Structure 1
């Protein structure tokens, strides 16, 4: 993406943020994640807190747990049901209110997935191959390009457009997905009838949360602090984090990735700058650093964990929330599909 294009995106996002603050009831947002494993601090800082903020402003919020998309870059779907329910628990514990927002699973909404056929007719193979996320996911998977991965951006467009979301919070690297959704909406409206708004990207300023080895925090890297960990498990995973032989603690991500990652995590959880934390620890060594990080993370997550455990202890609670969300999403998707069929002349 060129600098001029990104600058324009930032300017549009700033205007959008002002409009949302002035009249949040005019907006609906679609956001979510793939339930490939336990959610971690990266999810909390990167996406969940922003969707809670929008919900609390008064923006209608729809959260998709995209279980079908788990197999875009892997051979098996794994313990997807468990991961769906755990993700729903973490979202609610973080502040998503099921009475205000909808949490649903992709596979449970057939009408949403039926939108893929007409949407796929609106994009070219070349446009799909150019999508940077498809390229990145393909490179990371080490597998042949599947049809599902190639059409991943169209799946995301269906997620956004089925509920007619008009604002989608994203980071810079996800802007191409929003543009694909805008292109599909525009082409459908031009070819058939004006049904869809073109969704707008709300650029988030979420921090990069490093994993405990200095790479991006990721379930697949095994370097994450998950939201469902106990305080003891958190202490263990931090204690095992490799650092280096220099006893004096300093913040230098390039040459000291392990130490710097721990400092960054502590900074996010305490609101302090990593450099300041490094200065406080000084020559006390990696042991003191790990103790401080453990205390910072456990203190930051204490209320989340308390709320999560409280919800998990209620028999059938999270299942009922997802079931109700699926019912609401089905009603919305079926209405949208009826409109699409009428526009295309395929209603019988």
Structure 2
């Protein structure tokens, strides 16, 4: 496939995602026809950016009746790190967050990479379906390589999109919540599915992109909120820590508070955070604060966040009292994921003539 063809294919996915005005209606009408694969790398604590960006949407889809698979991507920690540090601790933190926000293990499947061998075994045939050139020009991989913590690019980093294809296709996921920056990854998955089906017979769906409309929350330093930048407010943070972090958040010298994401990103991100927690329009929140300045803004944000997160924190603390149950949720999810992966791998082997 040429560079032009790749760009065209990626644009096709983007257009398909943006033009699918009926996608939400189809989900609501026939949720049982959809299976979602989503998840997180266990590289640090989940934060408010994750909550408003993706986590609450997982619960929404679950409540609609969609079959949701939530992956703790422990193998993918090694894409840009030499070692997986504090893996058990961070994984258990993710599990607590998932349960606290409302992921129901009776209706959704929480599992991790390392516990599902058949999923990872799909990497071999999938890698045979894409070229080195195609992987090398993937813009998301280029960005991840640029920000990698490793001195050299590992093979796992290079093949990251194909590993994600295995994540999605092992359970025949046909709906993937993504931001626009992740569309090139999803196009690799669609390409793998299409080429496998053309070469060996139809086994996999070509998943659709469910584009996130979530606004971007900045970290307390005014840059992208990130687990690795020490600029986020963790879901596990208590009220006092939340107040301390918000108090230190970057604003600007202008006293009158307005909502202007382009001109006043730090101030506007705080206004947006309060608005999301209060379920209000950010312009109205800014207008209400008006000349109160940064002090009133930060007090408003602190009260809004602590009020909105209080029920989640209470549930998290309750689950933390019974880690045996929490670990059992992952074991049960791994069992289901293994059954699904084994069945898919059996189909793949049969389609390929038993060579795998």
TM tier relative to shorter chain: over 0.9
| Contact 1:31–1:63 (CA under 8 A) maintained in structure 2 | yes
Q: 1:99-248 alignment to 2 at 5 Å?
A: 99-141=106-148, 143-248=151-256
Q: Structure 2: how far apart are the matches of 1:283 and 1:206?
A: 28
| Contact 1:214–1:260 (CA under 8 A) maintained in structure 2 | no
- Cα-to-partner distance string for 1:39-87 (whole Å, 9 max, x where unaligned): 0111111111111111111111110010111121122211111111111
Could you say what the CA RMSD is over the residues aligned between the two structures, in angstroms? 1.9
Deviation at 1:183, TM superposition (A): 0.9
| Contact 1:67–1:107 (CA under 8 A) maintained in structure 2 | yes
Number of residue pairs matched by the alignment: 347
Pairing 1:281–2:292 present? no
Pairing 1:48–2:55 present? yes
Q: Structure 2: how far apart are the matches of 1:169 and 1:179?
A: 13
Deviation at 1:319, TM superposition (A): 0.6
Deviation at 1:282, TM superposition (A): 2.6
Distance 1:252 1:167, change over 3 A: closer
Q: Structure 1: how far apart are the matches of 2:207 and 2:23?
A: 11
Unaligned runs of 5+ in 2: 1-6
TM-score (norm 1): 0.94
Find the partner of 1:270 among 273, 278, 284.
Answer: 278
Q: 1:3-22 alignment to 2 at 5 Å?
A: 5=12, 6-11=14-19, 13-22=20-29
Deviation at 1:236, TM superposition (A): 1.0
Unaligned runs of 5+ in 1: none
Deviation at 1:311, TM superposition (A): 1.1
- Cα-to-partner distance string for 1:161-215 (whole Å, 9 max, x where unaligned): 1011111111211111221111111111111122111111122212212212222
Q: Structure 2: how far apart are the matches of 1:180 and 1:337?
A: 19
* Structure 2 match to 1:72: 79
Deviation at 1:4, TM superposition (A): 6.7
Deviation at 1:317, TM superposition (A): 1.4
| Contact 2:222–2:250 (CA under 8 A) maintained in structure 1 | no
TM-score (norm 2): 0.92
Deviation at 1:254, TM superposition (A): 4.4
Q: Any idea what SS the aligned residue of 2:196 has?
A: helix
Q: Any idea what SS the aligned residue of 1:20 has?
A: helix
- Cα-to-partner distance string for 1:71-114 (whole Å, 9 max, x where unaligned): 21122211111111111211121111100110000111111101
| Contact 1:28–1:60 (CA under 8 A) maintained in structure 2 | yes
Deviation at 1:120, TM superposition (A): 0.3
| Contact 2:45–2:90 (CA under 8 A) maintained in structure 1 | yes
